[in-house]
Each structure stands twice: as C-alpha cells, then as structure tokens.
Amino acid sequence: MSDYPAIQNGLNTYMPFILLISGSIGNILNCLIFTRSSLRNKPCSIYFLAMSIANLITLYFSCLTRILLLFGIYIQPGYGDIYCRFRVFLTYMPLSTSSWFIVAACVDRYASSSASVRIRSFSQLKVSLRIVCGTCVMLCLIWLEMFICFNGNLNGTVCAPVSQFCNTYNSFSLLVFFSLLPPICMLLFGGMTIRNVRHRPINRVANTKDRQLTLMLIVQVVIFQILSLPISIQRIYSYITINDSKTLQRKQLESLLIEIVNFAAFTNTVISFYLFTLTGSLFRKELKCLFFFLKRRQANIEPIQTGQRRIQIQTVTSRQQQATTHI
C-alpha cells in the first residue's frame, strides 16, 4: 500500500498554515513599504503594491478556506454553489492578476531604461494606475466563466467543474494566463531591459532607486519561472494522458503531484517580501525606516497617554478636595 494519500493529507493539513502566515506577514509589509512617500511615486512600486494586494486575496480565499474546513467550520447549507464560485474566482483571478502585474513591472523597467524618449514616456505613475485597472478588468472577464462552470455541494466542502469541457477550459486558462504566457512575457521584457541597461549610460546617483527596483524585479521573475514551470508541465501531462487507463497507485501519485505543483505555484504569492529583503538594499532601508517610524510613534503615544492619565487623576483629586471643603 502506497503512502501517497498520507503524504497528500499532510500537505493539505500543514501547508495552508505556512503559506497563510508567512504570506500575510510578507504581503502586508510590502503594502506598507511601497506606500511610503519615497517609493509610492515610482510606477514599478505601484505594480509591486498591486501584486501584494492580489497575493493577499489569493491566500485568504485559497488557504484560509481550507483551514476553516480542517477545523470543521462550514457555511450554512444551501449556499454551497455561491460559496464555491466566489472561492474559485477569488483564488485564480487574483493569482493570474499577480503574475501579470509582474509582467507590467517588467514592461515599466524596459520603458524606463530605454534610450527612446517616446518609450520612456510609458514609465509614468498615471500609466501604471491605468494598466493596473485595465489588467483587473480584463482578467475578471476571462475568469467570469467560473460562475457558470463550477458547482459546490450543500456546505461548500466540494467544489468542482460541472463538465469535462469546463475542466479543460479552466486548465487551459490557468496554463495560458498564469503559467505560460506571463513567464514568456517576463523573459522577453526582462531580457530587453538587461540589454538596455548594458548599452545605455546611467546616472548612478540619480537612478539608485530604479536600479534597485530592477534588481528586485529580476530576482522575482527568476523565482516565478522556477515555481510556475511545474504546474505548466503537469497541466500539459494531464491533457496528454486524459484518456489513458491508469492504476490506483498511478492516480494517487498524480493526485499528490498535483497538490505539490499547486502549492509551488501558490508559493509565488508568499515569497516576494523575502526576496525583496534579500536582494534590495533600498527595500531593507525602507523596512528599517518603517520599523523605526512605528517605534517612534509608539514612544510618542505613551507619554501623551501617561499625561492624560495624570490630568484625569489630578482632576478627580481636585474635585474630591472641593467636595470635602464644601462639607
């Protein structure tokens, strides 16, 4: 008897906790850092901020819902279909949106490093905001079919495509719009950015932030390629072998591998903060400033609160003395 089901059960038990906790900490800190005054005027920072928000949505609708089921917390009977459709939509739509925000950041880095004034004009804050909104609308339209193609049971514990066509369509959409097309675009614009940086003279003092953001993005792209490649291979393999006769052990192994590649893909929603911290000195500097700001704010609040308590005590004492005098 194989141990595949036991391993799969262990992954489903512990991995959602790990991804949710580490991803929540990292993405929330990303949001705080990329909204600081020194970074929020950079178009690339807008894409990193949008990516972090999309990552949080994916984590909470994919991992938190699994954790609730582990503790026996279910929705009210009769709402399974609605819950199922919103859950899969708010898992896979922001997941693919996050990958396209990385692509948009690559395009921004290419534009900002170009020798052409016309191309550099695309690296603007207003352009980045429009691209973020346009990307969200486009991918919402692509993944809206999930509200038709998925059904759930009474309490939402099972959520599956309603037909083989829907299953194939969703696998194809995930392959194209998350694990295949975005990595190709990342490699294309990343390569052109590196070429621009090598052939264009750079004012190193004036462009320190831009160079740091570019380095952070390159590392993010490399790790994204590594983590998204397995799910592409798995989707292609599943499509090729869909009509094969499979033994029980082979089915168990394939089910385990599906869970592994899925968790690898969702790891992309967790690691950006830790990659930025390791590779970007600018990011580490802003992180330290954030912690010092929070510490100073707490230090300033405590004396005010202490002073307010003293005033209240003095006021109460004075009133008591006045009451005693009148007596």
Q: Read out DSSP for 40-89?
A: TTSHHHHHHHHHHHHHHHHHIIIIIHHHHHHTT--PPTT-HHHHHHHHHH
pLDDT in the model for residue 303 = 53
pLDDT in the model for residue 273 = 94
pLDDT in the model for residue 129 = 94
Please state the pTM of the whole predicted model.
0.85
pLDDT in the model for residue 206 = 43
Give ∠ CA 26-262-141 in degrees, rounded to 5.
Answer: 85
CA distance 278 to 182: 24
* 159: phi then psi, degrees, rounded to nearest 5: -140, 115
Asked if the structure places residue 291 within a domain, the reply is no
pLDDT in the model for residue 315 = 56
For residues 169 and 149, the answer to whether their CB atoms sit within 8 Å is yes
pLDDT in the model for residue 323 = 46
Q: CB-based contacts of 161: which residues, under 8 Å, 6+ apart?
A: 149, 150, 167, 170
Asked if the structure places residue 201 within a domain, the reply is yes
Residue 152 forms beta bridges with which residues?
Answer: 159
Asked if the structure places residue 16 within a domain, the reply is yes
Asked if the structure places residue 309 within a domain, the reply is no
Asked if the structure places residue 188 within a domain, the reply is yes
Number of independent structural domains in the chain: 1
Asked if the structure places residue 85 within a domain, the reply is yes
Phi-psi region of 198 (alpha: psi -120 to 50; beta: other; left: phi over 0): alpha
Write the burial class of residue 147 (CB in 10 Å: 0-12 exposed, 13-18 middle, 19+ buried).
middle
327 residues of the chain, pLDDT tens digit each: 468 888 989 998 999 999 999 999 999 999 999 998 888 888 999 999 999 999 999 999 999 888 888 887 777 777 788 888 899 999 999 999 999 999 999 999 999 888 888 888 888 999 999 999 999 999 999 999 999 998 887 776 778 888 888 888 888 888 889 988 999 999 999 888 888 877 765 554 446 777 788 888 889 999 998 998 888 888 888 888 878 888 888 888 988 999 999 999 999 999 999 999 988 888 888 888 888 866 665 555 545 555 556 555 555 455 555 544 444
pLDDT in the model for residue 314 = 57
pLDDT in the model for residue 327 = 42
pLDDT in the model for residue 100 = 96
Structure tokens at 109: 């880095």
Q: How far is CA 112 from the centre of its chain?
A: 24
Asked if the structure places residue 154 within a domain, the reply is yes
CA distance 67 to 88: 15
Full domain range(s) for residue 134 = 3-279
Asked if the structure places residue 263 within a domain, the reply is yes
pLDDT in the model for residue 299 = 56
CATH number at residue 166: 1.20.1070.10
The distance in angstroms from the start CA to the end CA of the chain is 90
Structure tokens at 34: 């990329």
